[in-house]
Amino acid sequence: MRALIVIDMQNDFCPGGALAVTGGNEIVSPINQIMDEFDAIILTQDWHPAGHSSFASSHDASAFSFIEMPYGQQILWPDHCIQDSEGGQFHSGLNTKNADLILRKGYNPLIDSYSAFFENDHKTPTGLAGYLKTRKIKDLTFVGLATDYCVAYSALDAARLGYEVSVRTELCRAIDVEGSLEIALRDMRLTKVNLI
Ligand code: VGL
Ligand code: ZN
Protein backbone atom coordinates (compact mmCIF):
# COMPACT_ATOMS: atom_id res chain seq x y z
CA MET A 1 0.00 0.00 0.00
CA ARG A 2 1.28 3.43 -0.97
CA ALA A 3 0.56 6.72 0.76
CA LEU A 4 1.02 10.30 -0.33
CA ILE A 5 1.98 12.46 2.64
CA VAL A 6 1.33 16.14 1.97
CA ILE A 7 3.32 18.23 4.42
CA ASP A 8 1.98 21.53 5.82
CA MET A 9 0.28 23.04 2.74
CA GLN A 10 -1.02 25.89 4.89
CA ASN A 11 -1.62 29.60 4.30
CA ASP A 12 1.23 30.74 6.55
CA PHE A 13 3.76 28.84 4.40
CA CYS A 14 2.42 30.31 1.16
CA PRO A 15 3.14 33.79 -0.27
CA GLY A 16 1.43 36.37 1.95
CA GLY A 17 1.69 34.12 5.01
CA ALA A 18 3.68 34.62 8.20
CA LEU A 19 6.47 32.21 7.23
CA ALA A 20 6.05 32.37 3.48
CA VAL A 21 7.98 29.88 1.37
CA THR A 22 8.76 31.23 -2.09
CA GLY A 23 6.60 29.47 -4.67
CA GLY A 24 4.63 27.54 -2.04
CA ASN A 25 1.38 28.24 -3.88
CA GLU A 26 2.74 26.85 -7.19
CA ILE A 27 2.66 23.26 -5.98
CA VAL A 28 -0.97 23.14 -4.84
CA SER A 29 -2.59 22.02 -8.11
CA PRO A 30 0.16 19.60 -9.14
CA ILE A 31 -0.17 17.95 -5.72
CA ASN A 32 -3.95 17.62 -6.20
CA GLN A 33 -3.29 16.03 -9.58
CA ILE A 34 -1.20 13.14 -8.27
CA MET A 35 -3.52 12.20 -5.40
CA ASP A 36 -5.32 9.49 -7.34
CA GLU A 37 -2.04 7.57 -7.82
CA PHE A 38 -2.06 6.55 -4.13
CA ASP A 39 -3.95 4.16 -1.85
CA ALA A 40 -4.07 6.69 0.98
CA ILE A 41 -3.72 10.45 1.35
CA ILE A 42 -2.36 11.92 4.56
CA LEU A 43 -2.18 15.67 5.19
CA THR A 44 -0.10 17.17 7.98
CA GLN A 45 -0.92 20.49 9.60
CA ASP A 46 1.53 22.55 11.64
CA TRP A 47 -0.64 23.55 14.62
CA HIS A 48 0.95 25.67 17.33
CA PRO A 49 -0.58 27.21 20.45
CA ALA A 50 -0.05 30.99 20.75
CA GLY A 51 3.24 31.70 22.53
CA HIS A 52 4.83 28.48 21.24
CA SER A 53 8.47 28.02 22.26
CA SER A 54 9.60 27.93 18.59
CA PHE A 55 8.43 31.53 18.10
CA ALA A 56 11.05 34.28 18.26
CA SER A 57 8.43 36.48 19.96
CA SER A 58 8.33 34.07 22.92
CA HIS A 59 12.04 34.74 23.62
CA ASP A 60 12.32 38.45 22.80
CA ALA A 61 14.61 37.37 19.97
CA SER A 62 14.62 38.02 16.26
CA ALA A 63 13.17 35.58 13.78
CA PHE A 64 15.68 33.13 12.23
CA SER A 65 18.08 33.42 15.19
CA PHE A 66 19.05 30.30 17.13
CA ILE A 67 18.47 29.24 20.72
CA GLU A 68 19.51 26.25 22.84
CA MET A 69 16.52 24.11 23.92
CA PRO A 70 16.59 21.03 26.21
CA TYR A 71 16.39 18.88 23.03
CA GLY A 72 19.12 20.77 21.12
CA GLN A 73 19.50 23.85 18.95
CA GLN A 74 16.31 25.43 17.70
CA ILE A 75 15.88 28.08 15.01
CA LEU A 76 13.31 30.67 16.05
CA TRP A 77 10.45 31.38 13.66
CA PRO A 78 8.00 34.20 13.16
CA ASP A 79 4.66 33.36 14.81
CA HIS A 80 2.96 30.96 12.38
CA CYS A 81 0.25 28.33 12.07
CA ILE A 82 -1.43 29.28 15.32
CA GLN A 83 -4.28 26.92 16.18
CA ASP A 84 -7.54 28.04 14.56
CA SER A 85 -5.98 31.06 12.81
CA GLU A 86 -6.45 31.72 9.09
CA GLY A 87 -2.71 31.15 8.61
CA GLY A 88 -3.04 27.66 10.04
CA GLN A 89 -5.74 26.63 7.56
CA PHE A 90 -4.86 24.60 4.48
CA HIS A 91 -4.36 26.57 1.25
CA SER A 92 -7.88 26.99 -0.15
CA GLY A 93 -6.88 25.30 -3.43
CA LEU A 94 -5.69 22.10 -1.77
CA ASN A 95 -7.98 19.13 -2.27
CA THR A 96 -8.66 18.12 1.34
CA LYS A 97 -11.79 16.07 0.67
CA ASN A 98 -9.80 12.97 -0.30
CA ALA A 99 -7.70 12.99 2.88
CA ASP A 100 -7.79 9.74 4.84
CA LEU A 101 -5.99 11.31 7.78
CA ILE A 102 -5.16 14.85 8.87
CA LEU A 103 -2.28 14.78 11.32
CA ARG A 104 -1.61 17.82 13.49
CA LYS A 105 1.79 18.46 15.02
CA GLY A 106 3.57 21.15 17.01
CA TYR A 107 0.80 21.45 19.61
CA ASN A 108 3.18 20.81 22.53
CA PRO A 109 4.12 24.34 23.73
CA LEU A 110 7.64 23.32 24.75
CA ILE A 111 8.78 21.24 21.75
CA ASP A 112 8.84 22.05 18.05
CA SER A 113 7.77 19.28 15.71
CA TYR A 114 9.03 19.21 12.12
CA SER A 115 8.68 15.51 11.46
CA ALA A 116 5.34 13.82 10.91
CA PHE A 117 6.66 10.90 13.03
CA PHE A 118 8.40 12.41 16.08
CA GLU A 119 8.59 15.75 17.83
CA ASN A 120 11.99 17.48 17.73
CA ASP A 121 13.14 15.60 20.86
CA HIS A 122 13.23 12.63 18.39
CA LYS A 123 11.39 10.58 21.05
CA THR A 124 7.78 11.70 21.37
CA PRO A 125 5.78 9.90 18.65
CA THR A 126 2.90 11.56 16.78
CA GLY A 127 1.10 8.25 16.26
CA LEU A 128 1.63 8.19 12.47
CA ALA A 129 3.72 4.99 12.51
CA GLY A 130 0.91 3.14 14.30
CA TYR A 131 -1.63 4.37 11.75
CA LEU A 132 0.53 3.28 8.81
CA LYS A 133 1.12 -0.12 10.36
CA THR A 134 -2.58 -0.71 10.89
CA ARG A 135 -3.26 0.26 7.28
CA LYS A 136 -0.35 -1.88 5.99
CA ILE A 137 1.25 1.11 4.28
CA LYS A 138 4.99 0.67 3.68
CA ASP A 139 5.68 2.95 0.74
CA LEU A 140 5.60 6.71 1.32
CA THR A 141 5.86 9.67 -1.05
CA PHE A 142 6.36 13.11 0.46
CA VAL A 143 5.47 16.48 -1.07
CA GLY A 144 4.79 19.92 0.42
CA LEU A 145 6.44 22.56 2.58
CA ALA A 146 9.13 23.07 3.45
CA THR A 147 11.67 20.82 1.69
CA ASP A 148 14.46 21.58 4.17
CA TYR A 149 12.42 21.37 7.39
CA CYS A 150 9.21 19.43 7.74
CA VAL A 151 9.53 17.45 4.49
CA ALA A 152 13.16 16.46 5.12
CA TYR A 153 12.66 15.63 8.81
CA SER A 154 9.64 13.48 7.96
CA ALA A 155 11.36 11.67 5.08
CA LEU A 156 14.50 11.04 7.15
CA ASP A 157 12.52 9.59 10.05
CA ALA A 158 10.48 7.48 7.63
CA ALA A 159 13.63 6.04 6.02
CA ARG A 160 15.15 5.30 9.43
CA LEU A 161 11.91 3.54 10.42
CA GLY A 162 12.30 1.26 7.38
CA TYR A 163 9.69 2.62 4.97
CA GLU A 164 10.35 2.87 1.23
CA VAL A 165 10.58 6.65 0.90
CA SER A 166 10.44 9.07 -2.01
CA VAL A 167 10.37 12.86 -2.05
CA ARG A 168 9.01 14.51 -5.20
CA THR A 169 11.28 17.55 -5.01
CA GLU A 170 9.47 19.44 -7.80
CA LEU A 171 6.34 19.29 -5.59
CA CYS A 172 8.17 20.82 -2.61
CA ARG A 173 9.55 24.31 -1.91
CA ALA A 174 12.26 25.28 0.60
CA ILE A 175 12.79 27.98 3.25
CA ASP A 176 16.59 27.72 2.74
CA VAL A 177 18.20 29.53 5.70
CA GLU A 178 21.97 29.29 6.06
CA GLY A 179 22.40 26.40 3.63
CA SER A 180 19.56 24.34 5.13
CA LEU A 181 18.34 23.12 1.73
CA GLU A 182 21.70 21.74 0.67
CA ILE A 183 22.15 20.01 4.04
CA ALA A 184 18.66 18.51 3.88
CA LEU A 185 19.17 17.16 0.34
CA ARG A 186 22.53 15.67 1.32
CA ASP A 187 21.11 14.03 4.45
CA MET A 188 18.20 12.57 2.50
CA ARG A 189 20.53 11.12 -0.16
CA LEU A 190 22.75 9.60 2.57
CA THR A 191 19.69 8.06 4.24
CA LYS A 192 18.41 6.39 1.06
CA VAL A 193 15.47 8.67 0.45
CA ASN A 194 14.68 8.63 -3.28
CA LEU A 195 14.72 12.20 -4.55
CA ILE A 196 12.60 12.31 -7.68
C1 VGL B 1 7.92 24.26 9.21
C2 VGL B 1 9.26 25.81 10.21
C3 VGL B 1 8.42 25.86 11.31
C4 VGL B 1 7.67 23.41 8.01
C5 VGL B 1 7.08 24.28 10.29
O6 VGL B 1 6.51 23.02 7.76
O7 VGL B 1 8.65 23.11 7.29
N8 VGL B 1 9.01 25.02 9.18
N9 VGL B 1 7.33 25.09 11.35
ZN1 ZN C 1 5.96 25.41 12.88
Q: Is 100 in the active site? A: no
| pLDDT digit string, tens, across residues 94-118 | 999 999 999 999 999 999 999 999 9
Pairing of strands 66-69, 72-75: antiparallel
Give the DSSP H or E segment for 74: strand 72-75
Give pLDDT, residue 45: 98
Q: Is 172 in the active site? A: no
Q: What is the C-alpha end-to-end distance of the chain, expressed in Å?
A: 19
Q: How far is the CA of 38 from the centre of ligand 1 (A)?
A: 25
Q: Is 150 in the pocket of ligand 1 (CB under 6 A)?
A: yes
Kindly state the DSSP code that residue 91 receives in the 8-state scheme: P
Report which protein residue has its CA nearest ligand 1's atom 2: 149
Q: Which stretches of the chain score pLDDT less than 50?
A: none
Amino acid identity of residue 41, one-letter, is I
pTM strictly above 0.95: yes
| pLDDT digit string, tens, across residues 164-176 | 999 999 999 999 9
Catalytic member of 14, 81, 150, 172: 150
Give pLDDT, residue 72: 92
Please check whether residue 175 is in contact with residue 24, taking contact to mean a CB–CB distance below 8 angstroms.
Answer: no
Please check whether residue 87 is in contact with residue 80, taking contact to mean a CB–CB distance below 8 angstroms.
Answer: yes
Question: Residue-wise over 65-95: b if at least 16 C-beta within 10 A, else e?
Answer: eeeeeeeeebbbbebbbbeebebbebbeebb
**CA-CA distance, 71 to 40, in Å (whole number)?**
32
Amino acid identity of residue 186, one-letter, is R
Give pLDDT, residue 149: 97
Report which protein residue has its CA nearest ligand 1's atom 4: 150
**CA-CA distance, 47 to 35, in Å (whole number)?**
23
Q: How many CA atoms lie within 13 A of 182 on its CB side?
A: 3
**CA-CA distance, 188 to 190, in Å (whole number)?**
5
Give pLDDT, residue 140: 98
Q: Is 149 in the pocket of ligand 1 (CB under 6 A)?
A: yes
